[in-house]
Amino acid sequence: MKVAFVSGNREQLPDAVIPLGLLSVMAATPERHESNLVDLCFEEEPDRALARRLGQLAPDVVALGMRNIQSGDYSGVGHSLDYYRGLVAAVRGATDAPLILGGAGFSVMPAKLMRHLEPDYGISGEGERAFPALLEALESGAGVEAIASLHRFVDGEVTSNPPQRDFLDMNSLAPPDRARVDPRYYERYGIDSIQTKRGCPLRCDYCTYPIIEGRVGRTRDPLRVADEVESLAEHGARHFFVVDSVFNLPKTHAKQVCRELVARRNPIPWTCYANPLGFDPELAELMIAAGCAGMEVGSDAGTDEVLLRLRKGFDTARIREFRAISQAAGLPDCHTFILGTPGEKLDDVLRTLDFIVDLDPFSVIIMVWTDDAEALDPQLARERAALRDAIFTVLDEHKDEFPWWSIPAIGVNYDPKLFELLRKRGCSGPLWQHIRQLRPPARRRRPSATR
């Protein structure tokens, strides 16, 4: 069958990132099918570009990947669904081929998105097994009842098959074929993505990631990881991001990967997500030796009560220990905090901001909570907007005192001109690494002291 794999993601802030998940599903699709990648990332008019490409290809099946529901600057969810509705309409106008939705964004709330976007099928979670099975069924006319995590309409109602019992063995998956990737990703951004594992054993209250990839960490053989890293330079990657939920869990695997990269003299700098749990001085040293240029740490809150409510599994003392280890090793740490999570009052937000001032990490990214469900629930969206507005006012008052913090939702250190400037200076990788040098510290006040 001729398959059009459509990557709908168009976010280019802070970086345009290759459609790793879709490429992985393509790599798992048997060669007897003809696979074509339609990437809308750099298209000015994505609906038209999609219709035109589908008209040329005349595919038998269209597979549309939804990477996110939230917008890239975490400022909201509404535009994203409108955008995907437009893509679905473009597909329907261009071809009668069945439309299959999938991807991380779709997997967050598959049944609701089936009703909202009305594709023919949806696949939630990992697609490398379910998608080829669905192609096989569509080709042969066989039933689809046994395909795990498949969603479809039966008599007008969404019917969802049970999820798979076992997740995929990461060592059985073919690596993504980067020769298919639009070269502009490398020419303009130079950043690539790689996975050393899937799954997260933690239970953060808000997180949908374990729904998508499971709670059992499935690690890749460090030799395979290093092989893939070695291949990145051929495509022009100047930096890679380890897109695992948490690189340093399990710690033993993270150390093995680092040792293999050290043995191969990896020349490409990289960054990763890290967690205050599972971190020690030996790992910090190994990461530096393996080329790690920094970590994005999901600290989330600066009070023990909120951390407990979010079920983060660590407290503020552990965040401070993590900071001390990374500082002693000279490994830059960028902590992300999410203000205004469910149950938080403005006072909790101020205490978190005070904590950040005391912690003084290498860099900070501040996000303001938006619930994915707001995309489909206007009342919830209105209720949440009131607290968000109060938080934005506080952030606006203090933004000049912490000029190296990034606050995407109000455009602080998160705008195309700044990023363009940094790239012209030859900076690559996550740009928080470079902002602190650009923006020296100013006079600092504890946010709560000024209320």
Which residues contact ligand SF4 by CB under 6 A? Answer: 200, 202, 204, 207, 209-210, 245-246, 275, 298
Q: What minimum distance in Å lies between the beta carbon of 77 and ligand SF4?
A: 18
Contacts of 246 (CB under 8 A, 6+ apart): 200, 202, 273, 274, 275, 278, 298
Beta carbon nearer to ligand SF4, 131 or 337 = 337
Q: At closest approach, how far in Å is the CB of 254 from ligand SF4?
A: 14
Nearest distance in Å: CB 75, ligand SF4: 20
Helix (H, G, I), strand (E, B) or coil at 201: coil
Nearest residue (CB) to ligand SF4, 175 versus 210: 210
Q: Is 181 helix (H, G, I), strand (E, B) or coil?
A: coil
In the bound state with ligand SF4, the residue whose beta carbon lies nearer, of 88 and 202, is 202
Between 244 and 260, CB nearer to ligand SF4: 244
**C-alpha–C-alpha distance, residues 442 and 401, integer Å:** 5
Decide: 29 and 35 in contact? Cβ < 8 Å: yes
Tokens representing 344? 């938080």
Q: Give 259 or 318: the residue with its C-beta nearer to ligand SF4.
A: 318
Strands (E) located in 1-41: 2-7, 34-39
Within a 10 A sphere around the Cβ of 311, how many other Cβ atoms? 12
Nearer to ligand SF4, 13 or 277 (CB): 277
Name the minimum Å distance from CB 209 to ligand SF4.
4
For the CB of residue 279, give the shortest distance to ligand SF4 in the complex, in Å: 13
Cβ atoms 419, 406 nearer than 8 A: no
Cα 232 from Cα 159, distance rounded (Å): 41
Give the pairing of strands 34-39 and 239-242.
unpaired
| H-assigned helices in 242-344 | 251-263, 281-289, 304-309, 316-329
- Helix, strand, coil shares of the chain as percentages rounded to 5? 45, 15, 40
In the complex, the smallest distance separating the C-beta of residue 8 from ligand SF4, rounded to whole angstroms, is: 23
At 338, list the tokens: 């999410």
Q: Which is nearer to ligand SF4, 245 or 428 (CB)?
A: 245
State the angle between helix axes of 222-232 and 251-263 in degrees (0 to 180), rounded to the nearest 10: 50
In contact, 289 and 266? CB cutoff 8 Å: no
CB of 380 to ligand SF4, least distance (A): 21
Closest approach of ligand SF4 to the CB of residue 2, in Å: 36
Q: Could you tell me the smallest distance in angstroms from the CB atom of residue 277 to ligand SF4? A: 9
Cβ closest to ligand SF4, residue 203 vs residue 451: 203
- Write the single-letter amino acid at 149: S
| Dihedral sign, Cα of residue 336, residue 422, residue 324, residue 279 | positive
Instruction: Assign residue 388 a region (left: φ > 0; alpha: ψ between -120 and 50; beta: otherwise).
Output: alpha
| CB nearer to ligand SF4: pick between 127 and 276 | 276
